[in-house]
Chain A
Amino acid sequence: MSGRAHPLPQVVSAYLLPLVLRSRHPAFLRTDPNGYVVEHGGALAHYGIHDLQPGQPASAQISLLTGFLPHHGEPLHLSAVHTESGACADLHVFVDGENTWVVLLDTTSEHDQKQAMQQKGNELSLRSERQGLMLDTYLGKSVAESLMAGRWQRGGERREVTVLFVDIRGFTPYSEDHSPEEVFRTLNQYLPVMIEPIEAHGGLIEHIAGDAVMGIFGIGESDKRTAAAKAVIAGLHVQRAVRALHARRAAQGLSCLGVGIGIASGPAAVGIVGTYDRRGFAAIGHHVNLASRLQGQARAFELVIDEPTHSLWQEARQRDAMNEDFSDVLIDERQVALKGFRDVLRTFVITVATSSLPAAFSGAERF
């Protein structure tokens, strides 16, 4: 759609204004060019401001104005200022001729929503940092011990690992069609259900990048079959957790985004990269790239795994009695041609049911 935007019709403004005035508790004061109170009004008491004395400096009477009056130049806007009454306000200061206007608008509700989102985001970041530091600590000691035995060289160590990538499907168009707050809120609902099953099954979160997470299995254990099995089971739990999240979001009338998972197993160079102050754990190699590419092939509720992962997982299942419920899972084979890979690859696609199995999975074998 294009065309000139029309100004808001007066009837709409007249309808909206009382609504805004009721919900925002506007308050104002007017000062002279030196910042002395001339008049005041509105819901100042809502913000814990009482007994303003005209003719006296405003900033001496309202501590949150300290440093802002007298005001010159461009309008000033500070968001989420916590006032003495406990209400949160947006503070606006602007000049109109000889007058300086200070306006307060209640934003407690927006603040509370943003606080909840920010809290979740920060907790995730802290968790990621803590895990990185714990790993650094562990591998730091290991490096010291292993150097004696000639292991864990700075260039890394070759290890048999299973790498898992999980990414939200359709997140980019979703981000474009929704407000940043909504996008943030959605991301904060999806990331925990993507991360927690990986950690719960012994995977290491190598990194989180936007809507994608990479986990590595096999760092802390020498058995590659167990590592592959844990990665697959973790992937299934991610998909089930997403399915449960969808039920909650659908009940709230929110759109549901699936996640796709790619898993590959094989040798990778793993180790510490960076300097002392900025160091992290990294896995590098063909199978890391392969897992990423397979993730790109996975549709919502699918795990696309390479042949070695499938074989290792099956060997682990035959060897160990695993109590995993697979009644909601179907598995199928799929030949895929991947960019950067010469041959067409045989992969296995594990699909987690979202409704009744026969309708959802025509052509696939029940697991």
Chain B
Amino acid sequence: MIQKKLCMLGAFAVGKTSLVRRYVHSMFTDKYLTTVGVKIDKKDVQHAGKTASLLLWDLYGEDEFQRLQTSYLRGSAGLLIVADGTRPATVDKAIELRDRALSALGPLPYLLILNKSDLLSEWEVRPERIDELSRSGWEILRASAKTGEGVEDAFSTITARMLGDGR
């Protein structure tokens, strides 16, 4: 079976682990537990009549004390970059991480998940900012690890890109 490594990137506490947990185990908890190092999960996915094994590398969130080490990304077939709609600075971090990852790995499919759509009324990332990112080439999906909204769609979309579908 074909294996594809997908790395989850983003600032700390944006919900990377929660998204993986929702996608792989259909579970969610409100309790924040920071990730140190990397957690690896596996999920078999069907795409275009074939089964692929998705290896989800849930990497520690970057903050001022721990910078992302790009060697974790080696062999990655795609990136799911996560930001928190309630924290505008996490979008800046997402852009920075995308740039660093692509500079280390070369061209690679990626997309941005704006997580916490269940808290839409508290979002501080303005619609104009999202439009601007879309215009500059970002593919952006809104999701909520808490409710599950958009999660399956986000993972299916990036899987399709990794398995060679055009946009």
Contacts and interface: CB of A to CB of B under 8 A. Distances in A.
Contacts of A59: 3
Contacts of A68: 74-75
A15 interface: no
Most buried by A among B12, B38, B55: B38
B36 A80 contact: yes
Interface in B27-51: 32-34, 36-40, 42
Q: Is the interface of B mostly helix, strand, loop or mixed?
A: loop
Contact of A63 (B32, B55, B87, B126): B55
B36 A78 contact: no
Interface stretch (A2-10, A113-121, A198-206, A326-334): A113-121
A88 interface: yes
Interface string B80-107: 0000001111001000000000000000
A63 B63 contact: no
A108 to B, nearest CB: 11
A82 B34 contact: no
A197 B66 CA distance: 29
Nearest to A82: B39
Interface string B121-145: 0001010010000000000000000
B13 A126 contact: yes
B157 interface: no
Given A66-B5, A184-B65, A122 B12 contact: yes
Contacts of A82: 37-40
B126 A78 contact: no
A277 B13 contact: no
A88 B37 contact: yes
Contacts, number: 79
A81 interface: yes
A129 interface: yes
A118 B75 contact: no
B65 A121 contact: yes
A118 B39 contact: no
Interface residues of B, number: 35
Contacts of A119: 33-34
Nearest to B36: A115
B129 A118 contact: no
Contacts of A136: 124
A83 to B, nearest CB: 8
B62 to A, nearest CB: 11
Contact of A276 (B74, B86, B126): B126
A111 B37 CA distance: 8
Contacts of B34: 115, 118-119, 122
Nearest to A84: B40
Contacts of A129: 87, 89
A88 B60 CA distance: 14
A115 B71 CA distance: 21
B116 to A, nearest CB: 13
Interface in B1-37: 3, 5, 12-13, 32-34, 36-37
A125 B76 CA distance: 30
Nearest to A113: B36
A269 B77 CA distance: 52
A29 B42 CA distance: 22
Nearest to A83: B40
20 contacts: A64-B40, A66-B3, A66-B75, A67-B5, A67-B74, A67-B76, A80-B60, A81-B40, A82-B37, A111-B36, A114-B36, A118-B66, A119-B34, A121-B63, A121-B65, A122-B34, A122-B63, A125-B12, A184-B65, A277-B129
Give me the 10 closest cross-chain CB pairs, A-B, nearest first: A67-B75, A80-B37, A82-B39, A115-B36, A67-B74, A119-B34, A122-B34, A66-B5, A118-B34, A122-B12
Given A111-B36, A121-B63, 18 more contacts: A63-B3, A63-B40, A63-B55, A66-B3, A76-B71, A78-B37, A78-B38, A80-B36, A115-B34, A115-B36, A118-B60, A119-B34, A122-B12, A122-B63, A123-B32, A125-B64, A126-B32, A278-B88
Interface of B: 3, 5, 12-13, 32-34, 36-40, 42, 53, 55, 60-61, 63-66, 69, 71-72, 74-76, 86-89, 92, 124, 126, 129
Interface of A: 59-60, 63-64, 66-68, 76-82, 88, 111, 114-115, 118-119, 121-123, 125-126, 129, 133, 136, 184, 276-278
